[in-house]
C-alpha cells in the first residue's frame, strides 16, 4: 500500500524544465574566482585568435566595438549547482570573429588575462552558441564577472565561459585547461551533470 495518492508526482520546481539536474535557482549573480581579479584597461585590451598553424587574428577594443553585436538572452548554470535564468548580455558572436579565420581545427583553448584557460570542442563556439560578452544587464561587464569582456558559452557549465578573456587558440588535439587539469570534466554539460572527470 502506497502513502501517496494516485497521480502524486511531488512538488514541481519553478521553471523545472529549464533547470538542469542538481541545480537550484538564484536571483543574484554569485562571484566565484580563483586568485585576484585582473584589472584590464580597455586601452590595452586585445582579443586574439591563433589558428593551428600559428596565424593570428587580433582585435583591439575599438575594433571589437565596431563589430556586429548580438544580445543573447540565456540561462546560465554554475558547476557549484546554482542557476540563473533569463540573463541578458551584449557581445560579439564567435561566428563573427571566426568568419575570417582559416582553420581545420576541432578544438579550442580559451585563455584569459591572469593565466586562466579552459578547453572545448570548436563546434561548441559556432552556430550562435557562444559570444565574447562585454555587457550584462545593459551595463558594462563588471570586473568581478569577467569585465571588460568574457567568453559566454551558456550551454556548458559557467567555468567554460572564461572571465577576462584574452584569446582563443585553435588546436588539432584537445588540451585541458586550468580546472580540467584539476579534475573537472573536459566537456561540462549541465544536463548530463558533467562536473568532474568520470561523470
Average pLDDT over residues 103-127: 97
In a domain, 71, yes or no: yes
Three-class SS state of 34: coil
User: For position 182, what pLDDT does the model report?
Assistant: 95
In a domain, 5, yes or no: no
Question: CATH no. for residue 76?
Answer: 3.90.420.10
Sign of CA dihedral 127, 93, 70, 141: positive
The answer, yes or no, to whether residue 12 has pLDDT greater than 80, is no
Domain span at residue 158 reads: 43-192
In a domain, 74, yes or no: yes
Query: What's the half-sphere exposure (Cβ side, CA atoms, 13 Å) at 199?
Result: 17
User: For position 199, what pLDDT does the model report?
Assistant: 83
Residue 128 · residue 173 · CB < 8 Å: no
Q: What is the pLDDT of residues 96-109, one digit of tens each?
A: 999 989 999 999 99
In a domain, 16, yes or no: no
Overall number of domains in the chain: 1
Q: What is the pLDDT of residues 64-94, one digit of tens each?
A: 999 999 999 999 999 999 999 999 999 999 9
In a domain, 26, yes or no: no
Average pLDDT over residues 33-50: 92
E strands of the chain, at which residues?
24-25, 46-50, 56-60, 73-77, 82-93, 107-112, 117-121, 131-136, 139-140, 150-152, 165-171
Residue 133 · residue 93 · CB < 8 Å: no
User: For position 119, what pLDDT does the model report?
Assistant: 98
Amino acid at each position: 500500500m502506497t502513502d501517496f495518492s494516485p497521480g502524486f508526482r511531488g512538488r514541481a520546481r519553478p521553471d523545472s524544465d529549464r533547470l538542469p539536474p542538481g541545480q537550484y535557482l538564484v536571483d543574484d549573480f554569485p562571484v566565484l574566482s580563483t586568485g585576484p581579479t585582473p584589472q584590464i584597461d580597455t586601452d590595452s585590451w586585445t582579443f586574439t585568435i591563433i589558428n593551428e598553424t600559428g596565424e593570428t587574428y587580433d582585435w583591439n577594443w575599438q575594433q571589437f566595438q565596431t563589430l556586429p553585436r548580438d544580445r543573447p538572452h540565456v540561462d546560465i548554470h554554475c558547476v557549484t549547482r546554482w542557476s540563473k535564468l533569463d540573463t541578458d548580455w551584449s557581445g560579439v558572436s564567435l561566428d563573427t570573429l571566426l568568419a575570417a579565420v582559416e582553420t581545420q581545427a576541432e578544438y579550442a583553448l580559451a585563455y584569459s588575462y591572469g593565466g586562466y584557460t579552459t578547453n572545448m570542442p570548436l563546434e561548441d563556439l559556432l552556430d550562435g552558441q557562444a559570444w565574447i560578452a562585454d555587457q550584462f544587464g545593459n551595463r558594462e561587464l563588471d570586473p568581478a564577472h569577467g569585465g571588460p569582456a568574457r567568453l559566454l558559452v551558456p550551454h556548458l557549465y559557467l567555468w567554460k565561459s572564461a572571465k577576462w578573456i584574452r584569446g582563443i587558440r585553435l588546436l588539432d588535439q584537445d588540451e585541458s585547461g586550468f580546472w580540467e587539469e584539476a579534475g573537472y570534466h573536459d566537456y561540462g554539460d549541465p544536463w548530463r551533470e558533467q562536473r568532474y572527470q568520470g561523470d
